[in-house]
Structure 1
């Protein structure tokens, strides 16, 4: 082996770990970046676990917090229900010596809540009579509210299967096992899938009603996250108001999606992050302060020039929050908007070198028209936490299911998530609401109900 060969091998061995280090550093930057959701931020969890008592494993938490409520909070107790019946539990003699008791000297009540044993399925045959009109010749088949036009399973089975999938996050195989074990009902994973599809088709009218309500809202929180459809990249969007939440799975992440969902004539305020699709759709925006504060803090950790920028932004935000609690007048709000905007303009005019600090100032400058909408409009929130919270459930389901199989899966996914999220917001019982929509709206045909996925 020549000296040149030895040098080349040595350089290759040196280059290999350097490439690996670059890859790991890039991955670490993603996990610790300002846009990484708290559920994926591993840095705080690592620091908390390393600083705690190593022997106290039972109370360790992965989110950096401590178990239970914070000190000083009043305890929370479950409300005891009124008893449906009372049973007198007596004893005839002393278990210690056998002496007979004359009468009890008191009562020690204990309330026990039970549920009935799971009931076996009831098979009902509906003999649907059909008729032919003597006058016009039209044929009519009699209908019954508990007899679906398709499938052999009733409303309760459909509602429970849908809840099991989207509320309890069970795979179709586990849903089938549940019905088999609890009720002795022969139910396959394919049956579970068809039950959720039936619920989605029946609830699509309500889905469209929710979309109409959101289109007329004054304020809408909007956000999006990636998803897979048949292994290909798509996006699941959420549109949320104080009463309604709507999900839409689309191939596009562009401004065409809010235009489609909200309508071209939408004139409300959109609360969003800095994604370019939103200003391309509407000028009436509120940019999320939580995002820019996280990003400013992240840059300040690595660059001293950004530290005063982050400090100024945080002081502005905290000060505005405190000032708004005084319930200022419209005129005071307008004057405050103008004053704080000037402060932001002075901030972005700072002379800094190129790099992350300049990029941060560019983002602040790019949103000058949208950072302070919440100051002038009382109904507008300064952060997009509502939409980010709404995306948590789809993100968890994404981890479990991996990909939606086809457009039918997309249709079921966005419809079921929308209905359950909205009913939860409104304090409705999701099981009763599912029973209602399935019983009342199963007349929609599959061809009418399932739309094509909107392309980008």
Structure 2
């Protein structure tokens, strides 16, 4: 995998995770509002219940008015289901990135291995999210070498080993994209790297 494709995948992963985080926060806010509404309704119901169970309240006193069945309008029953011409909301099945052949090697009932594959095949497309890649730690043993022609001595170099610092090129690009998408907030970048990649870094390392 070349660097440009890897960087593009990192950027897509960051955008997807940020969108999932924003959606989760929005859902939390909706649940908080709904919780407050339910608490208010609960308080009102408790208040009415106390009035109803009060020993000084007359049994003939109507606390809650019952609906009059005779007031219901005689309306014909409506046809169930969506109206004609309604555009469905069913998600389209995506094209699979991988096709996995699943063939049993033994009978699930008796355990016999004398089985034969039939012509019938049940296809099922599963949409899933692979686990995030772990931070890879590599030790470079940079040997000192000496040219036997000119006598020059130097330390061997590798394209994936930076000359300054201890962060690799891919991790540096990853942090740079996080700075852009998270608007440069150091605390958010720290939390994101720790939560998503299990990588702890100081504010100076980010800056």
- Quick check: TM above 0.5? no
User: TM-score with structure 2 length normalisation?
Assistant: 0.40
Larger radius of gyration: 2
Considering fraction of residues, name the structure with more helix: 1
